[in-house]
Amino acid sequence: MHIKRSIWFIAATLLLALDVGWVVSAWCDETPATMRKVSVRVVEPEPAPGSFEEQPKVTWRAGNRYARVAEVPDPKGRIHGLIIINEPDVWSINLYNQSVKHLVDPGPSFNVHLPVFRPGDSIAGLKELELGRELSFFRKNHAARSQGGVIRSAATERYKMSAGAATVILWINIESKAPVRISLIHGGQIITLEYLAYEDLPFDASLFQPPPGIRENSDRR
């Protein structure tokens, strides 16, 4: 499968941040104490060496209200994508030219959703499979658990489940319980993401505000 250059992760996050087609819970107004940082990169289908598609994307999420998704610069595409969500505000930013699109979630619910797979790859039964909440999704859906072998010198467990015609598999580090790898198998294609970082950190409110110096085009929906 060809991975077309776009801010696909950002587009997915922006769409789902506005609660399109999701069952949501009530918005919690409390400031979280921690945030989760997740870094992933595509390893299958194998990106071209040195390409933008080979580079990792980093996500921070905190509670149901806050998220930040950062891409590496893409000079060829003149894009350096960043999205910041501080519900109900959403900023889609191109750091390459310091421009930003500001949207306001109309509600009535204000919940961030961070899909593991981009919209074109998503399956109805996997809508709740989100970055930072992978293991709980597999456990909730009673995925089959087995030994996963050694990945990057660490012993793993494997969780496997079906959703319609698709199969999704998660490998976690046995000791830390952090995801190591996740694959979606559907229609004869396999998409695999590798986790480079998965850690809980103290909440940093500054990460969920747009950087200074960007010009803003507001769009209230």
Q: CB–CB of 18/90 below 8 Å?
A: yes
Quote the percentage of the chain above a pLDDT of 90.
58
| pLDDT (mean) for 129-138 | 96
| pLDDT (mean) for 190-205 | 96
Under the banding of pLDDT at 50, 70 and 90, the label for residue 120 is low
Which amino acid, one-letter code, is at 129? L
pLDDT of residue 217: 52
| pLDDT (mean) for 132-140 | 96
Instruction: State the maximum Cα–Cα separation within the chain, in Å, rounded to a whole number.
Output: 51
| pLDDT (mean) for 39-57 | 92
Tokens 């961030």 -> residue: 112
CA 160 to chain centre: 20
Give, for 73, the enclosing helix (H) or strand (E). none
Q: Which residues contact 153 (CB under 8 A, 6 or more apart)?
A: none
What's the whole-number average pLDDT of the chain? 84
The predicted model scores a pTM of: 0.83
- Answer whether residue 122 shows pLDDT above 80: no
- Reported as a single tens digit per residue, the pLDDT across 62-110 is 999 999 999 999 888 888 999 999 999 999 999 988 888 898 988 777 8
pLDDT of residue 119: 61
As a whole number of angstroms, the distance between CA 195 and CA 202 comes to 20
- Reported as a single tens digit per residue, the pLDDT across 184-194 is 999 889 999 99
- Reported as a single tens digit per residue, the pLDDT across 22-32 is 333 334 457 89
Under the banding of pLDDT at 50, 70 and 90, the label for residue 139 is very high
Is it true that the peptide bond before 210 is cis, omega within 30 degrees of 0?
no
Q: CB–CB of 100/93 below 8 Å?
A: yes
SS3 (DSSP) at 184: strand
